[in-house]
Structure 1
Amino acid sequence: MSIRFKILCLLLMTAILVGAAINLNTGFLNLSLQDFFQNSVHNQIAEIRVNRVLVMLLAGISIPTSGFLMQEYFQNPLAGPDILGITSVASLSVAFYIFFSHDILLPEFLQNSFLSLAAIGGSFILMLILLSMSNKFQDKSYLIIFGFLVSAFAGAIVSLLQFYAENQSLKNYILWSFGANNMVSRNQIYVLSLLVAIGLFFCFRTIKPLIGNSLGTAYAQSLGVNLKQLKFFIIISSSLLSASVTAFLGPILFIGIIVPHFCRLIYNPSKLWQQWILNIFLGMLIMLLFSTIAEKTQIPLNVISSVFGIPVILLMLLKQNKV
């Protein structure tokens, strides 16, 4: 590894530690160090803030990694985690659960768990469909078209459900879609960590084949790259990473597109191993920053990511148009 890459990693890790410390001290109450390590009056608030930081770190790892895989596989800098329709189907599954389960009396902790299970279950079904459909699509661009159709169909069904939904159900769905990072419990973080770890395992298996794939399909095959296996691992990894975060935090938009873009600006885009590491570090830092802004301003996390991401993507489009 080059000295420049090591310096970048050191700077990003330092910024992550500072961002985590700021995030832990952001809220309506000023907490002391004792509140985080001993039983005190504000111990529960301290636990909520620790959970908030942990879930932001996991989201910062998974969303940019999913976007990085999509962009490298499809060779499209505007590809993101939702390109295969995973996020849309997770939202549709949550909508079905919220709009049709209001008559079922469940404790609050079970309601949150079933909501997350609904999102993961819907995404898992779509992942199986994608894996089966990928065998029929020789051209990988057809997967993008299929994902777009799935997203459009899921969006239409969600709109229809919202039109006929009761006021409280509609409110619950909108609150979920805003991204509530303070509502994730420690047990849910354990589940999220497991899903992210599995997704990262499959991602690790794809980096080396992606290096060959970036040089062209024919060259990749000459190097012995199993393109079919690569496609399967890409779908499984990106689906798990994006669906797990969507299940627990709601749809976090644009982060999976802009973080890989920034990483390519600050370091050599052809070095995929280093790019993956930078995506993880920069993703964690940006999610901590957004979480702090959300706590300071009380603006939903998803709104902040959209306000930040849309201008960046527009600049990317203008830059490509000039080239």
Structure 2
Amino acid sequence: MAASRWILLLLLLILLLIASLSLGSVDIPTTDVIAILFGKQSNEPAWQAIIWDFRMTKAFTCILAGGGLSLAGLQMQTLFRNALAGPDVLGLSSGASLAVAALLLGQSAGLPLLTTNSTSIAVASSIGCFGVFIIMLAIAQRVQDNAALLLVGLMIGAATSSIVSILQYITQAEDLQLYIIWTFGSLGSLSWQEINLLGIVTVIGTVLAIASAKPLNAWLLGENYAQSLGINTRRARLQIILSASILTGVVTAFCGPIAFVGLAVPHLVKLVIKTSNHLILIPAVLLGGASLVLFCDIVTQLPRQNQLLPINAITALVGAPVVIWVIMRSRKISV
């Protein structure tokens, strides 16, 4: 990859980060933002608190969530050799949605009422993701065909979605509103302690992905080719699934289900980077995903009336044209 393209990706991320810190209900000049980031005093003392206590936490959440989901999407598209595979194809997001729905909508269904603060929602989402992951891990050890594994993941997602639909149908309007708001996704409600945890888990998932770069490169030509290179495909597949599950699960737990990012970013990055080497694609996709979510977060602030648009609505507007382009670009939907 040419050095100029790395510089382009890094420059884009930096510019979007500065724009994200500058824009909001209170506009802060770019020069003051840069001064505050370098530890200098600004013209308004309150601006420093706004940036470090509110906007920087949101920007870091965007970077971690965008990078994690995009990397998980890249791994799933390569593993299943399907250009329309995303980080939720294993049913992890659906499992999280079911657990959160049981927490927020369960009272109407006669389930015991638990506290519904942000911590309990994150815990419930994590439990749902982990439960589906254990099921998929057990199935992956028995099913050797990736296409069959993909179908199982889609069926688990369909089954959990049907249960959520039943809970939505019988629940009260107040509880239903809380759940619907959670499904919109949220990037601005994390504390620095929660961001540290999100960052640590994201790094773990990323390290596993980097360790899987060689099997991912071999998988581009099929599982048989990977085996001919001496790769233990069963162990490699479990490692790839573990990495994607960790990345998808932690982002969903802290930010809710954010759609289309993991699906769209790998294709957008491949337009800039003409390579299939995952040692190059992985860091590029991390930068691209962080940049895309920062951009979408900036768009959510366009109303400028102390009201934000749902992040999922913006990511869908960006991701849907990419999906259409992928379909139109190739008759056969495969990597």
- The normalised TM-score by structure 2 is 0.89
Gaps of 5+ in 2: none
Quote how far apart the aligned CAs of 1:222 are.
2.3
Secondary structure (helix, strand or coil) at the match of 1:321 reads coil
Quote how far apart the aligned CAs of 1:151 are.
0.7
Q: 2:311 aligns to what?
A: 301
Give the counterpart letter for 1:15 in structure 2.
L
Identity among equivalent pairs (%)? 30
1:260-294 superposed Cα distances (whole Å, 9 cap, x missing partner): 11122222232221111211111111111001001
Q: 1:184 aligns to what?
A: 190
Q: Distance in 2 between matches of 1:270 and 1:225?
A: 18
Task: Go from structure 1 to structure 2 and tell me whether the alpha carbon gap of 1:213 and 1:315 turns closer, same or farther (over 3 Å shift).
Answer: closer
Q: Distance in 2 between matches of 1:314 and 1:155?
A: 24
1:202-251 superposed Cα distances (whole Å, 9 cap, x missing partner): 11121111122223323322221010111111111111111111111111
* Mapped contact 2:61–2:188 kept (Cα < 8 A): no
Q: Which residue of 4, 9, 23 corresponds with 1:7? A: 4
Q: Distance in 2 between matches of 1:227 and 1:310?
A: 33
Secondary structure (helix, strand or coil) at the match of 1:81 reads coil
Q: 1:129 aligns to what?
A: 135
- The residue correspondences of 1:65-144 to structure 2 (distance < 5 A) are 65-100=71-106, 106=115, 111-144=117-150
* Mapped contact 1:62–1:242 kept (Cα < 8 A): yes
* Mapped contact 1:179–1:301 kept (Cα < 8 A): yes
Q: Which residue of 202, 210, 219 corresponds with 2:225? A: 219
Q: 1:16 aligns to what?
A: 13
- The normalised TM-score by structure 1 is 0.92
Quote how far apart the aligned CAs of 1:314 are.
1.1
Q: CA RMSD in A?
A: 2.2
In the alignment of these two chains, the number of paired residues is 317
Quote how far apart the aligned CAs of 1:163 are.
1.1
* Mapped contact 1:68–1:260 kept (Cα < 8 A): yes
Q: 1:252 aligns to what?
A: 258
1:52 aligns with 2:62: no
Quote how far apart the aligned CAs of 1:159 are.
0.9
Quote how far apart the aligned CAs of 1:322 are.
9.0
Q: 1:237 aligns to what?
A: 243
* Mapped contact 1:60–1:285 kept (Cα < 8 A): yes
1:162 aligns with 2:172: no
Q: Which moved more, 1:11-20 or 1:213-222?
A: 213-222
Normalized per residue, which structure has more helix?
A: 1
Q: Distance in 2 between matches of 1:105 and 1:237?
A: 31
1:40-63 superposed Cα distances (whole Å, 9 cap, x missing partner): 445553311111000000012101
Q: Which moved more, 1:97-106 or 1:154-163?
A: 97-106
* Mapped contact 2:261–2:319 kept (Cα < 8 A): yes
